[in-house]
Amino acid sequence: MAKRTIVVMPGDGIGKAVCDAAIDVLNAAGFDAEYVHGDIGWEFWCKEGNPLPDRTLKLLEQHKIALFGAITSKPKDKAEAELSPELKGKGYIYYSPIVSMRQRFSLDICMRPCKAFKGNPLNFIRRGAGNTVEEPTVNTMIFRQNTEGLYGGVEWTNPSDQVYDALMTHPKFKENFAWCPRPELAVSTRIFTKKYTTRIVKAAFEYAKKQGLKSLYVCEKPNVIRETSGMMLKVAQEMSKNEYPDIRVNDVNIDAMMMWLTKNPEIYNVIVAGNMFGDIVSDGFAGLVGGLGFACSANIGPEIAVFEPTHGSAPKYADYETSIVNPIAMVLSACMMLDHIGENKLSEKIQAAVAEVVAEGKVKAYDMLKLSGSPDVINKGAASTKQMAEAIIAKLK
Ligand code: NAI
Ligand code: MG
């Protein structure tokens, strides 16, 4: 097969350490690729007033597939304060480069698998009467709409006349909010389009079909948020009826889901949700299978796809001489990339190696030892980022 080119955007903080670890694993597994570096993150905001420079967008357009580490985001005023002196006061506004990237390339399908590895000391357990302990086998794929909904960015404080007048045409607004002085009014919209709702629901059905599953869960709140949540549920029900008669649609409300996921997480194999509820429910499930050191994700658009751990740049640990963070989330994100480009065998091989390291339990990152992060964790027996990558490499078959 022709050599692949992968754009690597390490970003800020621990992003570089985890990207380096994942690339070592990919190389050792025999993935034949060339990696080109893409600038992204805080440094470029400070120096150029743009955390996602055009040259990086061009690389993404050209090569289509990317690995992304993590970035640092800060509130607006802090961002302005850290700009290079010559850029200050010139109207630069900080926007999260991840959100920009998702919207710019329509990376609308976010997949977040939450799968428990046997032997992971961070796995969720249930205690029963008489001190019984059960470890449910969590294996959930969450499909999160990645570009719309509450994170769509269509929002106002002190809305203009036009916006205010439009809101006043809604009887509920008039009845319940007309009392509020306009400068004290903040409005964030939750926009769903049928096109992108259909795409995320379809992705969930296709996954369920491939896995031979008989049902999926729409995790929204259609009884209250009737228009948007209601649209997603209806799209799913119709799709089940017309295209996937063997796959049943279950309707579970986001609030109830957060309760069920610690009672019986093993029954949820496929969940589909809008942007914010997908974000929430995927963090909830990630917590059952090891948390940030294990949580991987894919952002998939019609042309371009970006694979990233869900953790951030963990600035506390960024400057350690020996990086201590767990690279598994990044390694598993790289496996999602391999699956996406049809290198399923390689992906399986790496996942099996990760599973073996975790099951064996000899090499553990500090999070798996339930330590709080400090340079000292290495002396307490924690594996460094590099040692964890090496342990995975040693298990590749
Ligand atoms: P974070 O995910 O960076 O770190 C939270 C805590 O999780 C860390 O202190 C650490 O204890 C743990 N952690 C994170 N990654 C880990 C790993 N690989 N192994 C072991 N433990 C790990 O979130 P935080 O502290 O809220 O945000 C830090 C910065 O990252 C902020 O600037 C934030 O905006 C940004 N961020 C970026 C994201 C991204 O790039 N996708 C996502 C979340 C936050
Ligand atoms: Mg999140």
**Same domain? 70 vs 138:** no
pLDDT in tens, 173-198: 999 999 999 999 999 999 999 999 99
Q: Which of 82, 282, 313, 367 to mutate to test the pocket of ligand 1 (most atoms within 8 A of CB)?
A: 313
Query: Which pLDDT belongs to residue 31?
Result: 97
**Same domain? 271 vs 146:** yes
**Contact 356 CB / ligand 1 (< 6 Å):** no
Looking at the domain assignment, is residue 39 inside a domain?
Answer: yes
Domain boundary among 288, 323, 353: 288
**Same domain? 79 vs 173:** no
Closest residue by CA, ligand 1 atom 31: 72
**Contact 329 CB / ligand 1 (< 6 Å):** yes
- Strands of the 65-70 sheet, one edge to the other: 33-37, 4-11, 65-70, 305-309, 296-300, 109-115, 139-145, 270-273, 215-220, 248-253
**Same domain? 146 vs 251:** yes
pLDDT in tens, 250-307: 999 999 999 999 999 999 999 999 999 999 999 999 999 999 999 999 999 999 999 9
**Same domain? 45 vs 85:** yes
Looking at the domain assignment, is residue 70 inside a domain?
Answer: yes
Looking at the domain assignment, is residue 5 inside a domain?
Answer: yes
> Rounded to an integer, what distance in angstroms lies between the CA atom of residue 170 and that of residue 154?
18
> Rounded to an integer, what distance in angstroms lies between the CA atom of residue 388 and that of residue 386?
5
In ligand 1, which atom is closest to the CA atom of 18?
18
Dist. CA 283 → ligand 2 center (Å) = 6
Which residues form the domain of 200? 124-151+193-288
**Same domain? 64 vs 41:** yes
**Same domain? 141 vs 270:** yes
**Contact 98 CB / ligand 1 (< 6 Å):** yes
Looking at the domain assignment, is residue 117 inside a domain?
Answer: no
**Same domain? 245 vs 130:** yes
Q: Which residue has the tokens 């692949």?
A: 4
Dist. CA 74 → ligand 2 center (Å) = 15
Looking at the domain assignment, is residue 366 inside a domain?
Answer: yes
Given a cut of 50, the residues of the chain with pLDDT beneath it are none
Q: What is the CATH number of the domain that holds 134?
A: 3.40.718.10
Dist. CA 362 → ligand 2 center (Å) = 30
Q: Which residue has the tokens 């294996």?
A: 139
Domain boundary among 188, 203, 233: 188
* Ligand in nearest proximity to the CA of 295: 1
pTM of the model: 0.95
Q: Would you state the structure tokens that stand for residue 195, as one six-digit string? A: 């096109």
Looking at the domain assignment, is residue 304 inside a domain?
Answer: yes
Domain boundary among 135, 167, 188: 188
**Same domain? 164 vs 311:** no
**Same domain? 178 vs 231:** no
Q: Which residue has the tokens 């090569």?
A: 63
**Contact 279 CB / ligand 1 (< 6 Å):** no
* Ligand in nearest proximity to the CA of 297: 1
> Rounded to an integer, what distance in angstroms lies between the CA atom of residue 382 and that of residue 391?
12
* Ligand in nearest proximity to the CA of 279: 2
Query: Which pLDDT belongs to residue 1?
Result: 57
* Ligand in nearest proximity to the CA of 374: 1
Dist. CA 260 → ligand 1 center (Å) = 26
Query: Which pLDDT belongs to residue 146?
Result: 96
Total structural domains in the chain? 3
**Contact 26 CB / ligand 1 (< 6 Å):** no
**Same domain? 387 vs 311:** yes
C-beta of residue 242 within 8 angstroms of C-beta of residue 218: no
Looking at the domain assignment, is residue 232 inside a domain?
Answer: yes
C-beta of residue 321 within 8 angstroms of C-beta of residue 375: yes
* Sign of CA pseudo-dihedral 217, 349, 6, 368: positive
Looking at the domain assignment, is residue 116 inside a domain?
Answer: no
Q: CA 142, 143, 146, 148: dihedral to nearest 10 degrees?
A: -120
In ligand 1, which atom is closest to the CA atom of 311?
2
* Ligand in nearest proximity to the CA of 102: 1
Dist. CA 224 → ligand 1 center (Å) = 33
C-beta of residue 381 within 8 angstroms of C-beta of residue 337: no
**Contact 51 CB / ligand 1 (< 6 Å):** no
**Contact 252 CB / ligand 1 (< 6 Å):** no
Query: Which pLDDT belongs to residue 77?
Result: 87
What's the burial of 298, exposed, middle or buried (CB within 10 Å: 0-12/13-18/19+)?
buried
> Rounded to an integer, what distance in angstroms lies between the CA atom of residue 172 and that of residue 168?
9
**Contact 367 CB / ligand 1 (< 6 Å):** yes
> Rounded to an integer, what distance in angstroms lies between the CA atom of residue 327 and that of residue 364?
11
**Same domain? 142 vs 229:** yes
